[in-house]
Structure 1
Amino acid sequence: MGLLTFAGRIVLVVLNIIFILLSLTLVIGGFILRFAHETLRPIVKDVLDKINDASDDVYSTNINTDAFELGSVVSDIATVMIVLGLALLVLSFVGCCGACCNFTTIMLVYSIILIVILSAQVITIIICFGFPDEIKKRIRPAMRDSLDEYQGLRGSTINSLGWNWAMQEFSCCGPEDYTDFIGRGTWKTADGDGPNVITPTACCKTLPENSAGVATCAGNGTKTISDIAALNNYNKGCVDAVWKRVVEDNDDYYLTVVAICFAAQIALIIFACLVYKDRGISGGLV
């Protein structure tokens, strides 16, 4: 066995052990995000308390915010984290075993899988940072459909609490803007925010303390959208707001992580191919 191949096997083992630890972190994080509701409650508690106080002050309705579970809102993200973590765990374990035992054919398959994954990652990065509007355009329809169950500020369903929390947390109104709510849900009724409001009360920049405050920031029968514009997030979509905070505001972090991961994957591919190429000299499973 050549010295370079021996060094390559060590690098493969070390990097794969690191990826095993990262994959376990990803899986555990996904399960915490999806199921550890009490652990995550402090993250959403302040905004939920404001929503409950406003509902009580304006409508004399004390809502049960315990029904809101952040894990239910981000269940798709948590599922993706778990699935990706498990897939990475299996791949890293195979790569580690292949390098330790010098299973050269396994290392060839391993390197091919890594090349496919790296190519998929490059395409994903290009789409996310080069064509973000295409992703947003596909997210909005599903979010609009969820508005059919929206009940307004005093709604106590997970759907209503989730939208109220998101619109206050991210200072937004609907998936794209306030018009997404037109004809959807029961928020614009006597049991909701009121038949004369223009936007849901949760779209107000600051939640009102009384019915007069609702009229000022969400509208009534005599106001137009321009009258409430200064006090309302009516034209700020939640998809754009979430994307900005989660993706755009963390560009430097993501680019650093991506660069490190790409460098590690390229090193894994090179050394895995080297181990396979050296099979005639060092033996191993062919």
Structure 2
Amino acid sequence: MGCWTGMGRVLLIILNLVFLLVSMAILAAGIILRFFTPIIATFLGQIKVSGNTKDQFNIPDIDDISELPFVGDIGIALIVFGAVLCCISFFACCGACCKFRPLLILFVITMSTLIIAQGVVGGLFIAEDTVLHEEIKKTVGDKVKNDFQANGTDVFDFSINMLHYLLDCCGIRGWDDFNNTPKPPSCCNRTIIDGDSSWDDERQECASDPPTAPDSYYNQEGCYVVLQDKILEHLTLIAVAFAVILFIQLLEVIFACLIVKDVNNADSKVGPY
């Protein structure tokens, strides 16, 4: 066994033991998000916010929010991702430890597919205008358009109102999400909502039912665009971290190939030496 192959075997085992622990943590997080937060939601939906200075805008305190919309879907995604990562790490550890060629070949094929998939999805996410972003905006925006109620008390309504307030935005895609209904009070500019008594008239116009405030009182940008801009502010850091992860995974594939080649060479030898 060559020096590079031996070093690759050790690194492959160590890296995938770490990934195995990480995958178990991801699985645990996914299970919690998928199966336990809905129980909290049943209680949260019955909460009536009181003593809040933003009652008229239906903006709860952050402490009152224990679940965000689509958390169940995120939990399922984490469970699937954690299970796949766990299987891949298991293949690599067992294959490298025992020099078992079938597991190593399976690892190489699976990891290569994962690298390509990550590259494609990561590229679509990092770029500003892609099919991925449009699909996310459409899915969440349609849910806001169909299900959101400005004065609702369930988790989804509370979360969207809080999103409007924290990000100074309105809807997911902007005002288009409220074409057939008045703009919710939480879309009102944060300066007005948080302002002192000199803003009372403007605040009352935003919070009236129906609202009598002019368009200039409301945020115009959709929350998805605002959130996307905040993420893109750290694009360099995200891109570097993503590139490092892909590089480590590519090294794993190379080392696994070296071990497979070494096993093949050992199997092809004839005689006792």
What TM-score comes out, normalization by structure 1 length? Answer: 0.74
The aligned residue for residue 240 of structure 1 is: 225
The question of whether the paired residues in 2 share the 8 Å contact of 1:27 and 1:85 is answered with yes
1:67 CA drift (Å): 8.1
Residue in 2 aligned with 1:225? Answer: 215
Is the 1:171–1:203 contact (alpha carbons within 8 Å) kept by the matching residues of 2?
A: yes
| Cα distance in structure 2, aligned partners of 1:62 and 1:281 | 68
2:107 to 96, 106, 110: 110
| 8 A Cα contact 2:30 2:76, kept in partner | yes
Structure 1 partner of 2:4: 4
Cα distance in 1 between the residues matched to 2:239 and 2:67: 27
Partner of 1:250: 234
The reply to whether residue 160 of structure 1 matches residue 149 of structure 2 is: no
Contact 1:67/1:158 (CA < 8 Å) preserved in 2? no
Q: Which consecutive residues of structure 2, in runs of 5 or more, have no partner in the other structure?
A: 42-47, 269-273
Corresponding residue for residue 148 of structure 1 = 146
Query: How far does residue 255 in structure 1 lie from its aligned partner after superposition?
Result: 2.0
Deviation at 1:66, TM superposition (A): 8.8
1:212 is matched with which residue? 201
Q: Report how far residue 244 of structure 1 moved.
A: 2.6
- Residue 45 of structure 2 corresponds to none
Cα 1:222–1:11 shift into 2, 3 Å: closer
Matched, 1:28 2:28: yes
1:45 maps to none
Relative distance call for 1:217 and 1:179 in structure 2 (3 A) is same
Gap change, CA 1:18 and 1:112, over 3 Å in 2? same
Are residue 274 (structure 1) and residue 258 (structure 2) matched? yes
Cα distance change on mapping 1:26 and 1:250 into 2, 3 Å: farther
What's the RMSD between the two structures over aligned residues? 3.6
Counterparts in 2 of 1:50 and 1:18: CA distance versus 1, 3 Å: farther
Matches within 5 A, 1:27-176: 27-34=27-34, 37=37, 52-55=52-55, 58=56, 68-146=65-143, 147-152=145-150, 154-176=151-173
- Is residue 217 of structure 2 the alignment partner of residue 181 of structure 1? no
What percent identity do the matched residue pairs reach?
26
* SS in structure 1 at match of 2:234: helix
Count of matched residue positions in the alignment of Structure 1 and Structure 2: 255
- 2 CA distance for matches of 1:4 and 1:163? 54
